[in-house]
Amino acid sequence: MILTLTGLPGAGKSTIAKLLSERLQIPWYSMGDLRGKLARERGLSIDELNALGETEAFTDKDVDAYQTKLGKEQDNFIVDGRLSWHFIPHSFKIFLDINEDEAARRIFSAAKQGLRKDEKPYGSVEEVKKRVKSRIASDQKRYQKYYGLTYLDRRHYHLVIDTTDLTPAQIVERVLDRLTKQGYSFAA
């Protein structure tokens, strides 16, 4: 079983991937963490790396090749990343949605706690909302340019969950419930 999680910034991709990894006792790979490391190694924020990616394909292509290889060589893992569903087409694809106000609040809170090391500090929740809109636009521009697709089309996914008013535990239970209904087996 391979699970791919994507979704909007602040929807909880990393949190849910980590919890599912622990619950299912399978490895978790974060393409966001990999891209964040790539940004930090170059002295850039994630938003600056994304802007660079609009003209330099390596910022996406290296990570995309890595996850394609994972999907071909391994089984029983979770990966969170914007295009993981595309590069691992035989995965169970999950999209996490969220209201933009709640997303901005979550990101701002995580940044204040020092949990978002690849992002420049935010002055306010409103600033987060502006940067998130810019990030989504940059993602869309790059993915359209390099792959001719959008990750925002919910038809790509087996399961779409609006995380706005749900706890991480509730989200995990919804995922596990759907997997069970789809015939996947795992130790509960």
Tell how strand 77-80 and strand 28-30 pair up. parallel
CATH of the domain at 105: 3.40.50.300
Asked, for residue 42, whether it belongs to a domain, the answer is yes
- Quick: pLDDT tens for 98-108: 999 999 999 99
What is the domain range of residue 87? 2-181
50 confidence band (pLDDT: 50, 70, 90): confident
The alpha-helical segments, DSSP class H, found in the chain are 13-24, 31-41, 46-53, 58-73, 84-87, 100-112, 125-147, 168-181
CA 6 to chain centre: 4
Residue 188 located in a structural domain = no
CA gap 63, 81 in Å, rounded: 10
What pLDDT does 93 receive?
A: 98
What is the number of structural domains in the chain? 1
Indicate whether 158 belongs to any domain: yes
Backbone φ and ψ for 68, nearest 5 degrees, come out as -60, -45
Q: What does the radius of gyration of the chain's CA atoms come to, in whole angstroms? A: 16
**Helix/strand/coil for 78:** strand
Q: What are phi and psi of 136, to 5 degrees?
A: -60, -40
- Residue 41 structure tokens: 């190694």
Residues 6+ apart with CB under 8 A from 97: 7, 8, 11, 154, 160, 161, 162, 163, 164
Region of poorest pLDDT, from 56-60, 74-78, 138-142, 184-188: 184-188
Q: Domain for residue 55, yes or no?
A: yes
Residue range 72-98: mean pLDDT, rounded: 95
**Number of C-beta neighbours around residue 123 at 10 A:** 9
- pLDDT tens track for 17-37: 999 999 999 999 988 777 777
Torsion sign across C-alpha atoms 77, 105, 152, 142: negative
180 or 113, which is more confident? 180
d(CA 162, CA 37): 28
13: tokens are 């991709």
Tell me what the mean pLDDT of segment 1-23 comes to.
95
